[in-house]
Structure 1
Amino acid sequence: MSTVSCLFCSPDPNAIVLENDYAIFIQTEQPILIGSGLIIPRSHRQTVFDLTVVEWCETYALLQQVKTLLDEQYEPDGYNVGWNSGDAAGQEILHSHLHVIPRFKDEPLAGKGIRWWLKQEENRR
């Protein structure tokens, strides 16, 4: 994929909630749950496995800032944090991005983590 056509290589500056020199945090327009967003490396890296050590460390640093912000704004009861890497894993945009999803006890699917979907009988090989 060309970086010219990559949605995450040229984000709307007004959409950036938090940032550092290596990554940005944007909240999704139609969030999975309130406060949900993405941490996106500034450099085009197709998957999490392509991040440099510095990008990995700076993503972690930004994740800590994001958690502080979301804790203050929404007071979630937990979080799902995860990467999709490759088509089979559900990666739709081929620019590495970390999903940050606040979770709340009053959700219909509270207590169901990322692995819950994978462990369903219909997903067995």
Structure 2
Amino acid sequence: MSHCELCNPNFDYQKLILENDHCMFLMLNRTDIEGSGIIIPRQHRETVFDLTEEEWNSTYALLKEVKYIIDQEYKPDGYNVGWNCGSVGGQHIFHAHLHVLPRYADEFYAGKGIRNWFKSSENKRKS
């Protein structure tokens, strides 16, 4: 898709670190979330549920390589890894992308996983 920002990545704020036949890892050029990036399929797929089996397997293989590189370079104490699907699920770019977020013990939210916000009283359903 010509208008999709992940079909045509902007390398001003991210850099290509690793790739394989079906996907690539783009690391953000930001010091506040050092080492963070996304794994995206080369072909436009709206969500993780649209990936082919080959793309899924290639994503997993690349994730293992990405972890090794981040571990060596940044030495995180943990990780958050996940997909946002659909606008209610927090997806803002409708090209599937797997977030890879290294986490550090000295962060303000250390020990708080992605479910922390879902369990908060502010997130109670209205119906």
TM-score bracket relative to the smaller structure? over 0.9
Matched, 1:16 2:22: no
Matches within 5 A, 1:26-105: 26-30=26-30, 33-105=33-105
**Shift in Å, 1:28:** 1.5
Q: CA RMSD in A?
A: 1.4
1:15: how far off? 2.0
Matched with 1:111 is: 111
Aligned pairs, number: 123
Shift of 1:117: 1.0
Cα distance in 2 for residues equivalent to 1:90 and 1:70: 25
Q: What amino acid sits opposite 2:86 in the alignment?
A: G
Separation in structure 2 between the aligned mates of residue 31 and residue 21 of structure 1, nearest angstrom: 29
SS at match of 1:55: helix
Task: Provide structure 1 residue ranges, at least 5 long, that are not aligned to the other structure.
Answer: none
TM-score for the superposition, normalised by structure 2: 0.92
**Deviation of residue 86 (structure 1)?**
0.2
TM-aligned CA deviation for residue 89 of structure 1: 0.7
CA–CA separation in structure 1 for the residues paired with 2:111 and 2:5: 32
Secondary structure class of the residue paired with 1:62: helix
Confirm whether residue 5 of structure 1 aligns to residue 3 of structure 2. Answer: yes
Extract unaligned runs of 5+ from structure 2. Answer: none
Q: CA deviation at 1:30?
A: 3.3
CA-to-aligned-CA distance 1:56-81 (integer Å, 9 cap, x gap): 00000000000000000001000000
Letter in 2 for 1:9: C
Q: Give structure 1 regions of 4+ aligned residues with deviation exceeding 6 angstroms.
A: none
- Cα offsets for 1:3-43 (capped at 9, x unmatched): 11000001257821100010000112336621000001000
- Number of the residue aligned with 1:120: 120
Report the structure, 1 or 2, having the larger helix content. 1
Structure 1 pair 52–106 and aligned structure 2 pair: CA distance change class (3 A) = same
SS in 1 for 2:88: helix
TM-score of the aligned structures, taking structure 1 as reference length? 0.94
